[in-house]
Structure 1
Amino acid sequence: MTPTDWPAPAKLNLFLHVVGRRPDGYHRLQTVFQFLDYGDTVRVTPRTDGAIRIHHRLEGLDPEQDLVARAAHRLQTATGATQGADLTVTKRLPAGGGLGGGSSDAATTLVALNRLWETGLDEEALARLGLELGADVPVFVRGQAAWAEEVGEALTPVELPEPWFLVVVPPVAVSTAAIFADPELNRAMPPITMDDYLAGRGGNALEAVVAAREPEVAAALEWLGAFAPARMTGSGACLFAAFDQQPAAEAVAARLPTRWSGFVARGCNRSPLLDGEWIDYWGVAKR
């Protein structure tokens, strides 16, 4: 069958607060998600024999833990689908970067196979399946910039400015579990509202913890902050700053120290995934 390419865009956490802990041990969060017009690509070729074949190997990841494979098997189980698929991820998003690469790949797999297999699940049902794979998967399934609470799955769509972002990628992979377990993490930040965020309140509660553990993150944050307000996304290690115009972002990217990589991308309130079948267009400026 004919292969099709599907986008798995990056996300940014424009702010991230930890406001408490639930009885099940998970942290209660407040954050705003926005997508980027840059990310991974998932190539999907349906099969008639029911087999799920993975044709990529993600560095440092046990194949049994590959979220793309898990998403495909979960959709089969939930719907009784008898079709299978060959799946290949072209990675651009770094592991442990806070850009949501693995979660986005899983969401794209669910959305693509739901359509190609004609299993008929609606957005709500797909988001519920996604939550079984990871807390960030539902926002990628729904594909709308969102105010998020609880573990990140309680989503309210929002309309935000769509600036150009310079994303700096230090050569560091950060363990989300380790950061949330760090005793220095502030777990009792006062909740804020969307109006508070739009008025300029809000930061990343994990940023100080990551910067203390990872000198490269601290150095990159200081460097980027000399050009524009800079922040870490998610649990790191990637950092971002917003610019009104693409040339301004690219001018700073051109000065990026060689020990770090980075890319310039546009913020998106609507995920490219919502446009369905996709031709690989991730041609934005990258170093």
Structure 2
Amino acid sequence: MTGFTTADGWSAWPAPAKLNLFLHITGRRADGYHQLQTVFRLLDWGDTVHLRPRADGVIARIGGGASGVTEVDDLMVRAAILLKNACKCLQGADIGIEKRIPMGGGFGGGSSDAASVLVGLNCLWGLGLGEARLAELGQALGADVPVFVRGRNAWAEGIGERLEPIRLPPAWYLLASPGVHAATAALFQAPDLTRDAPPVTIAGFLSGAVLGNAFEPVLRCREPAVEAVFEALARVGTPRLTGSGSGCFVEFADRGSAETALAALPAGLLSSGTSAWLARGAERSPLLDAVEQHL
């Protein structure tokens, strides 16, 4: 039960999850940020952000947010305040969420939620900002926010902000989350993290070259739960890590193969606190469809 009904003035905005199909760290900038190469794959599964404009200028989170996240630290609230201040908007908003994406899994939940707030309130407040400006605002909230604002699968470089749309073949994914909240800042400081991977090209990626995730060996050594998920998923395919979180996935060409793999996972894995489910790769974000419906 959500309580966010249209009769009460609420509108719903999809906040899809993402996968990093690979992630390399190719260097480090003078300001300490790491240079990355990755491919963002959007999924047809994720959170739902609910928005309701209000005339008094107040930004309020209704019904709580992600577990353990205070309202002042919530990226959704911060996104609304950032947009409001940037446009000197006098309106406010109530913000609610149906949370499905696990925290700390590397599926991009917080960033996607923030992007949906930026995009949704831009429509509801009638601000008329373009995609580029919204992505620029989103980058101030997190390096992953722009890809969700733009809503397309993308090749990414820099700190993740330089995006080039990329066409990806249809795919289904078996996703697994061991419930471990990986601390991104600590992982970036890990002495065994590879920070000088040779750059690759889009053509190299599309050719089917096997490209890994720089954080995978670090997390597998540090987190027994992540190692256990990799060992279980290796029985049904080739497991990969997404982002710098603990979430893992296996790619399949069709739904039937993914369902067979899910059914073959050992019962002990799922009884140990790991969750597993299926999602389809999206050609574009359902958030873009929501925008078109509100125009």
Q: Please tell me whether residue 264 in structure 1 is matched to residue 278 in structure 2.
A: yes
1:97-246 to structure 2, matched below 5 A, reads 97-199=105-207, 200-246=209-255
Question: Distance between the aligned counterparts of 2:247 and 2:292, measured in 1?
Answer: 26
Residue of 13, 21, 35 corresponding to 2:42? 35
Encode CA deviations 1:159-196: one digit per residue, 9 max, x unaligned: 01120000011121111111111111010000000111
User: What residue in structure 2 maps to residue 82 of structure 1?
Assistant: 90
- The Cα RMSD (Å) is 1.4
**1:201 CA drift (Å):** 3.5
Q: List runs of 5+ in structure 2 lacking aligned partners.
A: 1-7
Q: What SS is found at the alignment partner of 1:219?
A: helix
CA separation of 1:143/1:277 partners in 2, compared to 1, >3 Å: closer, same or farther? closer
CA separation of 1:162/1:186 partners in 2, compared to 1, >3 Å: closer, same or farther? same
User: What residue in structure 1 maps to residue 288 of structure 2?
Assistant: 274
Question: Distance between the aligned counterparts of 1:57 and 1:137, measured in 2?
Answer: 18
Question: Distance between the aligned counterparts of 2:243 and 2:280, measured in 1?
Answer: 18
Q: What SS is found at the alignment partner of 1:203?
A: coil
Q: Please tell me whether residue 255 in structure 1 is matched to residue 264 in structure 2.
A: yes
Q: What SS is found at the alignment partner of 2:13?
A: strand
Between the aligned residues of both structures, percent identity stands at 51
Q: What SS is found at the alignment partner of 1:171?
A: coil
TM-score (norm. length: structure 1): 0.94
Q: List runs of 5+ in structure 1 lacking aligned partners.
A: 280-287
- Give 4+ residue runs of structure 1 displaced > 3 Å after superposition: none
TM-score (norm. length: structure 2): 0.92
CA separation of 1:277/1:254 partners in 2, compared to 1, >3 Å: closer, same or farther? farther
Q: What SS is found at the alignment partner of 2:179?
A: coil
Opposite residue 267 of structure 1, the aligned amino acid is: G
Opposite residue 59 of structure 1, the aligned amino acid is: S
Question: Distance between the aligned counterparts of 1:20 and 1:159, measured in 2?
Answer: 26
User: What residue in structure 1 maps to residue 58 of structure 2?
Assistant: 51
Question: Distance between the aligned counterparts of 1:265 and 1:97, measured in 2?
Answer: 15
Encode CA deviations 1:32-85: one digit per residue, 9 max, x unaligned: 001000000101111111111101132222321100000000000001111111
Question: Distance between the aligned counterparts of 1:149 and 1:277, measured in 2?
Answer: 27
**1:269 CA drift (Å):** 2.6
Residue of 6, 18, 29 corresponding to 2:13? 6
Question: Distance between the aligned counterparts of 2:102 and 2:13, measured in 1?
Answer: 18
User: What residue in structure 2 maps to residue 285 of structure 1?
Assistant: none
**1:277 CA drift (Å):** 5.4
Opposite residue 202 of structure 1, the aligned amino acid is: L
Opposite residue 214 of structure 1, the aligned amino acid is: E
